[in-house]
Structures are given as C-alpha cells and as structure tokens.
Structure 1
Amino acid sequence: MRQAADIEIALRPRPEGVTLQRWLYDEIRTAILSGRLMPGSRLPATRDLALRLKISRGTVLAVYEQLGAEGYIRGATGKGSFVAPELPDLPPRSLVPGNAIAGPKSRDATDTPFESAAVNLSARGRKLSMTPFGVAGRSFPAQAFRTNQPDVTTFPIELWSRIAANRSRRLQPELFMDVDARGYEPLREAIAGHLRSSRGITCSAEQVMLVSSVQQIFDVSARLLLDPGEEVWVEDPGYPGAHQVFTAAGAKVVDIPVDSNGMDVAFARDRAPNARLAYVTAGRQAPMGSVLALDRRLALLNWAHRHDAIVIEDDYDSEYRYEGAPLSAMKSLDETGRVIYCGTFSKLLFPSLRISYAVLPDQLIAPFTSAISLTSRYAALMPQVTLHEFIAEGHFGRHVRRMRLLYAERAQAMRQAADIYMGGLLEIPEITMGLDTPAFLSGDRDDKNVARLAAQAGIESLPLSLYARTHPARPGLLLGFAAVGPAEIASGMRALARVLDA
C-alpha cells in the first residue's frame, strides 16, 4: 500500500447548520470520489487528525467507522486506515464537487467546477418535461387577472382548521391503515350524492375515484386506453395539459375546431372516425367559454358507442354558473358507459387541496383501480377525511353558493371596467360561468406580445394563442376575475388599457 501518512489537510469551512461529523465525513468522502485521495492512500491517524482540526477524537473515529462501513476506507490493525484499494472506476472529476483535502492527485484530477452530466431522456420523457404549468407555484396575494384560481382569501380557513383539528382528535386506528385505492369511501359517497343533485349524474360511490389532480386521470386513461399511434380527439383551441399528456403517451392527437357550440363533432367524425378517445370540456370550453350544444353531445355519445370509444368530460369550473343552476353534465346522458366524468375541488375550494375525482363507467372501475394502485397507491387520506366532514356538515354547499354570488359580482365588475377603460381596445363577452373569461383584442395584435408587456406591468394573463395548435384562435387574452376583488379588477383594467394604448 502507498505510504502517505503525512497527507496535507486543508478543509473547506464548515457550513452553518452542518455538524462536525457530517462535515468531516463529506470532505473525506468527496476527496476519495474526486481522486484527490487515491486508492490505497493511508489516512492520518485519528488522534493526529483530531489534534490538527481541534475536534474530538471520537468525532474522527465515528467518521472513519462510517466511511469503513460504506466501503470507502479499510483499517489494518497496527498500520492505520487506508482508502480502499479496490474502489471501482471513479466518476469523472467534473461530476464530483471539489474538495480541499490535499493528497496525491490522480492524472485526471483538475480544478474544474462541478458540472452535471447530460442525461438522455426517452421520447416520452422529452414530451413530459415540457409542462404547461408553473413548477414553482404561484405568488400570494393574487394579482389581476390571475386565471384558473378561486379567491383563497374568502375561504373559511378557521372553520376548515377547526374541522381538521376535531377530526384529528377523533382518529380511529383503521385510518392509519392502507385504504381503498379509489379513496375514502364516505367522501366518495358524498361526492356521488352531490353529483346526483347538482349535475344530474346518476352514480354510486363504487364509480367514484379520488386522485390528486385531473391530470392523473388523463395520464392513467392514456395508459389504459391508448396504444402508441392511436387517435384521440382534443379541442383546438383547447387545454394544453390534456394535449401534452396524450402526446407523451404516444397517441396521435387530432385537433378538433371549436365554435360557439363547442367541439365540432361532425368535423371530428369525418377527420378521425376510428379514434379511441375524445377529450372535451363540455360544460365550459377551455379557453373560449362556449357550452357543448345538446345535438353535439348526443352525436358524441352516439359515436363513442358505435366505435367502442371513451369520452373524457373535464368539468373543471362550470359548477360556478351565475344565471340559474349549473347545467347538467354530458355524463347525465350517458346510457352505455362511454364517459369518464372529471371534477376538481382545487378550483371549487383552494388549489393546494389537491383532491379531484373521476366518475368511471362500470367496466373501467377495476382497471383504473389497479392502475392507480400500481402507479401511486392512493391519494393522501387525511385531507379526504376533512373534506368529507366539510361536505357532510353543509359547509361545502354554503360556500359554493356564496362564491357564486361573489364571483358573479366580480364578473360584472370586469365587464364594467372594460367598458370604462378600454374604449374598444378589448372585447369581453357576456360571462355566465367559470373563473375566467376570454377577452378579444381589437385589430391584428400579437396576443403573446401583449401578454408579455402586461406581465411587465404587473398584470397576469394568458394569450389565447397559447391554447391553439392547428386552428388559430382569435387574438386575445384569458383573464381571471375570481381571485381578486373589484378594486383590483378596476386598477388592473386601467393598467392593461395603458399597455394596449402604448
């Protein structure tokens, strides 16, 4: 073995909050991995190293023992401790952070800064890495005109906290066990009851599956129902989150135009009659806001029945309807089990709740349950328990009714502010439901550029062209009105008008 008992020691300063033992372990381990300490090199005696560093010998002994247990060093009775002589080929120097323990340098050792090696993603991985969602979360408080978000400041936080605390004090041992992959049964029963009364959907708790997001339903649906190259209908302009999940699954996405009556089902049947799946926002088309007409709903269901296809109905925010009761879901017309109906509490209550659900046709219950169990096991239980109590005590119904009135006032405030400040620069159609609205730009403006300039002025918006792929969208912005009050709406409209004037 190489005799190197007098290795020069020059350690980097210990970071704040890191223990002596962890610091010394990291320094020596990194020196070995970087090649600064060669295989077979003898380490300083524990007593000598402790004296040099002015630390406890017990700390050094603990570090050497840990490194020995992990195979980095070996001890020989009466001879000392040595870097393991049979270490496999070490990673390239550029992949290991630098270390200041000076020792015999390997021929490849350099002072190159730490760099990450390139990782080759699969074709699906490259598509999955292009998410349309912000991965860093959203700032608080919300700014005008944040889209796809309810007003979290009006949520009854104290009431929710009290329910959660009371329920936690009454936990039973069975709630600490694994649960049904479909989710907490009392909550599934409550959801089934709500859908029967508010959306016209006749279903049982057996058909309801709880997940963390509707995106998860898209992903599992694609894996269960689509082989690579098979066709799926997707609205265009339409929701990018669905389009990208289906594309990543290897499906051939067929862009279907939308108009004032929703998805053009006749176009879809002519273009891709043998598609296996159709995705539709029937209650309120995303982002244009139209409702899928009855004749098109029936035509879509008839096509699905005749071609053994499945329709995913994403009912993301049409629960908030401001003129009369919410419209019946397309699922309420489904007599042959061709529709997967999806809804979410993240838009009805608050985003971080992360509880969504799907109503499955009977023939898909078993495969979906198995797939969810395999890929994610089941959604976190305690938020489901709290939500069930919130619904069972009547708070959910009262909150939704109160928010309908509040959001209706804000929708009206947005239209009034546009009339006052825009002077024909922006056209906002009548708002009858949802949390946001399309706003159409006058002239031939570049909506992406307008959205960029608006962001520089502190205004949140999304260009409608972001939602279009094959069929161009009319230039405009998607503007949210639910997350902020009338004063913020008015000031935001004034600022947006200055951007458009400029």
Structure 2
Amino acid sequence: MTVPTPALTIEIDRQQQLPIYLQICERFRTAIAAGHLRPGDRVPALRGLATQLNTARGTVELAYTILVDEGYLQMRGAAGTFVSASLPASVTRSSRAQGVQAARARQGAAGADSPQPPPESRDGRAAPRQAALTVAMSGEPRPLQPGLPALDAFPRKVWNRLVAQRARSGERAMLAYPDPSGYRPLREHIATYLGLSRGVTCLPEQVFVTGGFRATLELVLRSLARADDRVWFEDPGYLLARDFLTETGVQLVPVPVDGEGIDVERGTLLDAQARFAVVTPSHQSPLGHTLSLARRMALLDWAGKASRWIIEDDYDSEFRYLGRPLPALKSLDRRDRVIYCGTFSKVMFPGLRLAYVVVPERAVERVGKVAHSMNAGSPMLLQAAVADFIAQGHFARHLKRMRALYAERRVLIVHALEKAFGERLIVDLPPGGIQFAVQFAEGPDGPVDDVAVAARARKAGLAVLPLSIWHANSRARRTRRGLVMGFANIADADEAGRLARTLRACLDG
C-alpha cells in the first residue's frame, strides 16, 4: 500500500542567522509536535523539498540526517523517509499544550526551589579510583589519557598572539577583579554559538562562566540544592562528578545505563522523588551512547511534573564523526528545567580552566547572587582571549580541523587494538567524543581484573582508566570490565601500534 505524503508547507527565512538546515529541522519538529505530521507519515523526498525551498539537496539531506539521528524520522531506502512510528506520546503532544505548560512552569513557586547549601561529607571507598585518577587526570599529559584534546594540533601561535594583544592593550578590566558571572563579550559569544550549533536558545544573562565542570556543579548546587537532596546519576557515570557530588552531601541514586542512555523508567522505580538528574545525553560518559529521543522526552516529563532539575553535561558533543553534532537535550526543554553545562577544556585545552553553564531564566538572579558570594570568576585576560578566538573565526576553524583529525586518529587506535588483542577485547566505537570505553572478553578464569590491568598500564606510562570503577559498585558481577582511553593525541599508526602492544602486555601481566 502506498503511503501518501501529507501536504506540508515549510518556509525558511534567509535573513535569519540560523543555518537553513537547522531551520528545516525545527520546522519538522514543530509540525510533528503540532500533529501536522504523524508517526508513519511519509515526508517529502530530498529532491522535491530542495526544489520547493530553492536550496541545495545536500542542505535538506543534512537536516534529514539530523532528524533521523534524533529519532524523529526513519529512512526506509527506496520506500522513502517517514516520521518514526515509535515516537513517544510526549513528542506528538500539541505544541499549544506545551506552550501552556511552559508558561505555568515559569510561574512556578520559586520558594519550592529555594536552596540550602549542602553539607560536606567524605566517601572513604574510593582509594583505587583516586589512585587511577591522580595519574590519568592531572600532571604531565600521558598517552591514551581520557578527555585530553590534541595538544599538538592546537593553534598556539594564534592563541599566543591573541593573549599578547590583550595583555598589551592596557585595559584596566584585564587587571581588575573579574566579574563573577563572566566576561560579558564571552557570554554573548557563547549564547550565539549554542544557539547555532546546539539548538540552545538563551540570553547572555543566562550564561555564567566558571573554572571547570566541578566549579559549575558547585555553583549550581549552592544555588538550587537543599541538604540531602537525592540525585539521579548515571551508572556507570563520570567519575569526577560522582566524587564531587558525594562530597557535597547530596544522596546519589545510581540509575543503570544501556544502549539508549540512562534508563528513566528504572530511575523512577528507584527514586521517583529525586530533585536532580545529572546526565551526559550526547555522549554518555564513559560508554559513549546517545540518549534516545524517547528517553529524552521521558526525562523532561519527569523533571517538568514536579519542578525537578536536569543537569546536562555536554562535555565533548562538538566532535561527532557520523553526521552533524546532535542538538542538546536543552533544545527540547519546554519547561525550563534543564541546566546546560559546557566546557572549553575539550574543544581548546584543559589548562584554560574555563567552562560555562546556562541556567533557566527563573534561576538567573539566584545563581548570580551565589556566584558573587563565592567570589567566583576566572581571569579576565583568558576570557577576553577566548572571546577574540571565537569572534575572529579561529574557534570554528579549529573545531572543523579537529573533527577531521580525531576521526583519523580514533581509527588508528581501533585498528591497532584489534590487531593486538584479537578476540580478547570488545571495541564498540561510539559515533563521537575524544575517548571511548573497551571491554575485556571474559576468560576461562572469569572476569578480567581491569583495575590490575590499568595499574600495570600506569607503570608502563599509560593513562588509561579501569572501566569498572565508573560503576557505583565496581565489584558486582554485572559490572563491565575494561578500559577507558583517549585517542586525540595519537600521532600516527606506528604510535598507535606501540601503545596497543603495551596494553596487551599489561593484560597478560
């Protein structure tokens, strides 16, 4: 049976700063939300829509690819492209209803969110974890270090020139105490960049510049958390965030992660009344999965029903090697419950110690007061240089070069690992990021002791981390055993082969 293509009028505005392919994506999302396109409907063919819009076929193809990656559309070969039959009900809900809910949410009681600084506590169970992190996350860069961008490929001459120009400018602001909220031009550039590349619509006033993700978490929790708040946390999940959250006194609720990201249904069963969820939707840390559209909508529904907060850690989503970077979870947030966190550590270099957070409008005043009370603020010289780096186009060019470079380097290490380990190692390469996790195949004597393997690797000069310690219970039978490693600094195939052979020797002891 032939499925008709519904009449659909799509208009684009060539005066908008938003690229045409992103405008097309937004028009389709709106049409699906409003019910003009329903699950199973065929959408216009690439050539036909390109002709209708008087734009290149490649532009429409890029938009369709993004919508397929997000889960809105499905490509069925010669049959055509269709609205996904498995769209969650919350996606197809009337956009009018969403608007009413968003308005009501913005009128919500600020008192219900009023914070109390969480008390500090210590977790004494992390000795093996701390030993691994001390070597892998600090000091001199080491081979295969997770989360480390390509230091050899950063445009240092350009950067040095920009910093020197700012230092010689004689601006008094460069010498004064920094604005705790961040350098205003940098906040403006961040807001523009997020709107164009991540689908996050925000004002510069919502952007706060911090000294790293840990500083971002501290600012958010001091502003919005109460003592003993319960927090959903991915299991396995980002080590440094878990350790810091434990220290603050909030109660972590480990929620399992599978191929679709955090299991929202399981999280609801474990603790439906938690007030926060800390997630990595674009590139789950450490497994690399992308949070599915159904899970995204379920998570947003969970947060919107009871004034909960979602902290979205979007740490390295700029680097995606299959299609364009996916829009952020925040781009789907109609109730203003997502706190979006980004960093310059992965896209430039970690020595900057610069990150940022986009807070919901209702929380701007509160977060601003806490930022001032913390005497927060990063050096204005570096913030101004980053603003110049973005404004002069160096940032966009650098990202483009790094995507191509990292795509090559990750293939080098994967081939080397497969050659060195054979069937002893399972490599499930994610579509993005600058690190990935591999798992050891279980041997005749049972699961591999990945902590011991990583310890031997550290002695050999490598900075890999055992995968098991990213789990809430690293000793459970179901815990994954393997290694988390970075690949951005691998220079060539020879180096990749040498590193893989060293790791293989560590497996054998």
Same fold (TM over 0.5): yes
Shift of 1:177: 4.0
CA 1:223–1:420: 2 relative to 1, 3 Å: same
- How far apart are 1:300 and its partner, in Å? 0.6
The match for 1:476 among 472, 475, 482 is 482
Pairing 1:138-157 to 2, within 5 Å after superposition = 138-140=138-140, 142-157=141-156
**Conservation of the 8 A alpha-carbon contact between 1:421 and 1:497:** yes
Residue 502 of structure 2 corresponds to residue 499 of structure 1: no
Provide closer, same or farther for how the CA distance between residues 252 and 169 of structure 1 changes in structure 2, counting only shifts above 3 A.
same
Identify if the C-alpha distance between structure 1 residues 249 and 460 changes in structure 2 by more than 3 Å, giving closer, same or farther. Answer: closer
Which is higher, the Rg of structure 1 or of structure 2? 1
Q: CA deviation at 1:203?
A: 1.0
Q: State how far apart, in whole Å, the 1-side matches of 2:322 and 2:428 are.
A: 15
- Greater relative contact order: 1 or 2 (C-alpha under 8 angstroms, separation 6 or more)? 2
Q: Deviations over 1:381-404 (max 9, x none)?
A: 110000000110000000111011
* Separation of aligned partners in 2, 1:390 and 1:222: 31
Moved more, 171-180 or 227-236: 171-180
**Aligned 1:226-245 pairs, distance under 5 A:** 226-245=225-244
Q: Distance in 1 between matches of 2:137 and 2:454?
A: 19
What amino acid is aligned across from residue 454 of structure 1 in structure 2? Answer: A
What residue in structure 2 maps to residue 207 of structure 1? 206
Q: State the percentage of identical aligned residues.
A: 38
Does the Cα contact within 8 Å between 1:428 and 1:439 map onto a contact in 2? yes
Report which of the two has the higher share of helix. Answer: 2
1:380, CA displacement in angstroms? 1.5
User: Structure 1 369/254 Cα, relative in aligned 2: closer, same or farther at 3 Å?
Assistant: same
In 2, Cα distance between equivalents of 1:489 and 1:245: 33
User: Is the counterpart of residue 449 in structure 1 residue 477 in structure 2?
Assistant: no
Query: CA separation of 1:464/1:252 partners in 2, compared to 1, >3 Å: closer, same or farther?
Result: same
Q: Which residue of 1 aligns with 2:134?
A: 134
Equivalent position of 2:403 in the other structure: 404
* Per-residue deviation, 1:291: 0.7
In the other structure, the counterpart of 2:192 is 193
Question: d(CA) in 1 for partners of 2:124 and 2:136?
Answer: 17
CA distance in 2, matches of 1:210, 1:161: 21
Which whole-Å CA distance do the structure 1 matches of 2:135 and 2:385 have between them?
26
Counterpart of 1:481, as a letter, is: F
Check 1:221–1:481 CA distance in 2 against 1; reply closer, same or farther (3 A cut).
Answer: same
SS across alignment from 2:399: helix
Q: How far apart in 2 are the matches of 1:361 and 1:129?
A: 35
Contact 1:183 1:210 in 2 (8 A): yes
Alignment of 1:95-174 (within 5 A): 124=120, 126-127=122-123, 132=130, 133-134=133-134, 138-140=138-140, 142-174=141-173
Cα deviations by residue, 1:220-262 (Å, 9 ceiling, x for unpaired) = 2222322222211001111122222222222211110000000
Please list the CA deviations of residues 262-286 of structure 1 after superposition, one character each: whole Å capped at 9, or x if unmatched: 0000011121111111100111111
TM-score normalised per structure 2: 0.71
Residue 277 of structure 1 aligns with which residue? 276
2 CA distance for matches of 1:144 and 1:151? Answer: 11
Partner Cα distance (1:275, 1:123) in 2: 18
Looking at structure 2, the residues matched to 139 and 340 of structure 1 have their Cα atoms a distance apart, in angstroms, of 30
123 and 277 in structure 1: CA distance in 2 versus 1, 3 angstrom threshold: closer
Paired residue type of 2:501 = R
User: How much has 1:468 moved relative to structure 2?
Assistant: 0.5
Residue 254, structure 1, aligned to residue 253, structure 2: yes
How many residue pairs match? The answer is 380
Contact between 2:189 and 2:387, CA under 8 Å: does it hold in 1?
Answer: yes
Does residue 1:467 correspond to 2:470, yes or no? yes
Distance 2:215 2:273 in 1: 25
Structure 2: unaligned runs, 5 residues or longer? 1-117
Contact 1:143 1:488 in 2 (8 A): no
Q: How far does residue 296 in structure 1 lie from its aligned partner after superposition?
A: 0.7
Is the 1:227–1:250 contact (alpha carbons within 8 Å) kept by the matching residues of 2? no
Structure 2 distance, partners of 1:420, 1:439, is 14
- Post-superposition CA distance 1:354-392 (Å, at most 9, x none): 110001100111111111111133221110000000110
Question: Do the aligned partners of residues 424 and 155 (structure 1) sit closer, same or farther apart at CA in structure 2, a change above 3 Å counting?
Answer: same
In structure 1, the gaps of 5 or more residues are 1-121
Q: Which amino acid aligns with 1:168?
A: A
> Quick one: structure 1 residues 416 and 274, their matched pair in 2 at CA, closer, same or farther if it must change by over 3 Å?
same
Q: Which residue of 2 aligns with 1:94?
A: none
3-state SS of 2:301 partner: helix
Q: CA deviation at 1:473?
A: 2.8
